Amino acid sequence: MNMSKVVTRFAPSPTGFLHAGNYRTAVFAYLFAKQHAGTFLVRIEDTDRARSKPEYEQNIMETLAWLDVRSDTEIARSSDRVERHKEILAKLIESGAAYVSHEAKKDDSNQMVDVVRFRNSGTTVSFHDEIRGDITFDTTEHEDFVIARAVDDPLFHLAVIVDDGDAGVTHVIRGEDHISNTPRQILLQQALGYAVPVYAHLPLILGSDRSKLSKRKGAKALTEYRDQGVLAEAMLDYLASLGWHPGDDREYLTREELIRMFDLSRVQKGGAIFDETKLFSINQHWMRALSDEAFVARGELVAADESKLREAVPLLKDRAHTFSEVREMLAGELACLFAAPEIEREVLVRKEPADRPGLTKSALQGLLEPLRRLPGDVSAEVVKDTLMPLADAEEAKGKGGRGGVLWPLRYALSGQERSPDPFTLISILGAPESTARIEKAIAILE
Task: Name the residue among 219, 239, 205 with its Cα closest to residue 69.
Answer: 239
Within 8 A by CB and 6+ apart from 63, the residues are 18, 23, 221, 222, 223, 226
Report the chain's mean pLDDT, rounded to a whole number. 92
Which pLDDT band holds residue 400 (cuts at 50, 70, 90)? low
User: What's the domain count of the chain?
Assistant: 3
pLDDT at 399 over 70: no
What percent of the chain is predicted at pLDDT more than 70? 98
pTM over 0.85? The answer is yes
Q: Which of 206, 237, 269 is the last residue of a domain?
A: 206
Which pLDDT band holds residue 396 (cuts at 50, 70, 90)? confident
pLDDT in tens, 401-410: 788 899 999 9
Strands 272-273 and 205-206 come out as parallel
Residue 138: predicted pLDDT: 94
In a domain, 248, yes or no: no
Task: Name the residue among 271, 266, 275, 326 with its Cα closest to residue 302.
Answer: 326
pLDDT in tens, 320-367: 999 999 999 999 999 999 999 999 999 999 988 888 888 899 999 999
Q: Count Cα neighbours of 171 within 13 Å in the Cβ-side half-sphere.
A: 29
By residue range, what is the domain housing residue 372? 345-444
Residue 382: predicted pLDDT: 95
| Helix axes 401-414 and 422-429, enclosed angle (nearest 10) | 40
DSSP classification of residue 267: B
Interval 247-270 mean pLDDT: 93
In a domain, 273, yes or no: no
pLDDT at 398 over 70: no
pLDDT at 2 over 50: no
In a 3-state reduction of DSSP, which class is residue 54?
helix
Q: Which of 337, 369, 401 is the last residue of a domain?
A: 337
Query: Does 55 share its domain with 136?
Result: yes
In a domain, 285, yes or no: no
